[in-house]
Amino acid sequence: MGLDQPPVVRVSVPREGRAEKLPLRQWPMTVPAVEHVVRRGLDLAPGVTFLVGENGSGKSTIVEAVAEAYGLSPEGGTRNSRHSTRVTESPLGAALTLQRGIGSGRWGFFLRAETMHGWYTHQEQHGGPPLHEMSHGESFLEVLRTRFDSPGFYCLDEPEAALSFSSTLALVSALAEVVAKGGQVLCATHSPVLAAMPGATVLEVGPWGLRRTTWEDLELVEHWRRYLADPGRYLRHVLD
């Protein structure tokens, strides 16, 4: 899809062999956002790109596949900490090719709430900090502090899940640090706090595929605004 700035990461699926690897009427091609990426590719602008959209719209499928195509373990962690408990990723990751600008480092990290426990165990076994002894959010912040420090390519899937409001702001600051050092981030999120990060590209994921939008125009932001102003307007619909 056409973004204004030159891409730093170009994600695409070569036409050759595409139909065999990703049959049209089978998952994940049945997910509109996946079909969009497969047909049109995805150019990630410099800095941070957020994927925002409803549950089941395809954010994780895309982030996971991009992480895998970059050589990151689908279960989370760095390139050199590959560990695997169960293979659940889609054939999309194997079909994608990923080009990253010349001169950009090879470092990367995939942070995902669901499977970080496995990575923590792996780290502890290899002399890392006692991440299992920390709370969910504390361990996340420790990972941010120690791993989000170089100009790599970071894939994140709902990193806010573990974080309080103020820790989510700390995450914005960590991401800004990554960007200032020349790194790049692809992040799926439901957090209006995260998605408000200045300078970030916001892609809304849904039945249309992927479309570029702004924080102000996100449905998510509109819902939060209205909910915080008057929770009853929403709650009376679900509590009757």
Ligand X SMILES: Nc1ncnc2c1ncn2[C@@H]1O[C@H](COP(=O)(O)OP(=O)(O)OP(=O)(O)O)[C@@H](O)[C@H]1O
Enumerate binding residues for ligand X (CB under 6 A).
27, 31, 53, 55-61, 88, 188
Between 59 and 100, CB nearer to ligand X: 59
Q: Give how far Cα 130 sits from Cα of 133, 134, 145, 196, Å.
A: 6, 7, 14, 32
Give least dist CB 236 to Mg ion, A.
Answer: 29
Give yes or no for a contact between 154 and 185, defined as CB atoms under 8 angstroms apart: yes
Give yes or no for a contact between 52 and 220, defined as CB atoms under 8 angstroms apart: yes
* 28-87 residues near Mg ion, rule: CB under 5 A: 60
Residue nearest to ligand X (CB): 60
Between 60 and 123, CB nearer to Mg ion: 60
Residue nearest to Mg ion (CB): 60
Q: Give how far Cα 40 sits from Cα of 1, 14, 96, 164, Å.
A: 6, 11, 12, 37
Give least dist CB 231 to ligand X, A.
Answer: 22
Q: Which does 12 bind (CB under 5 to 8 A by kind): Mg ion, ligand X, none?
A: none
Between 60 and 168, CB nearer to Mg ion: 60
Give least dist CB 53 to ligand X, A.
Answer: 6
Distance (Å, whole) CA 219 – CA 233: 16
Between 191 and 201, CB nearer to ligand X: 191
Neighbours of 200 (CB within 10 A): 21
Give least dist CB 41 to ligand X, A.
Answer: 18
Give least dist CB 63 to ligand X, A.
Answer: 8
Between 8 and 29, CB nearer to ligand X: 29
Between 27 and 234, CB nearer to ligand X: 27
Give yes or no for a contact between 23 and 169, defined as CB atoms under 8 angstroms apart: no
Distance (Å, whole) CA 46 – CA 164: 27
Q: Which does 57 bind (CB under 5 to 8 A by kind): ligand X, Mg ion, none?
A: ligand X
Bridge partners of residue 98, in order along the sequence = 11
Burial class from Cβ neighbours inside 10 Å (0-12, 13-18, 19+) for residue 123 reads buried
Give least dist CB 75 to ligand X, A.
Answer: 14
Under the rule (CB under 5 A), what is the footprint of Mg ion? 60
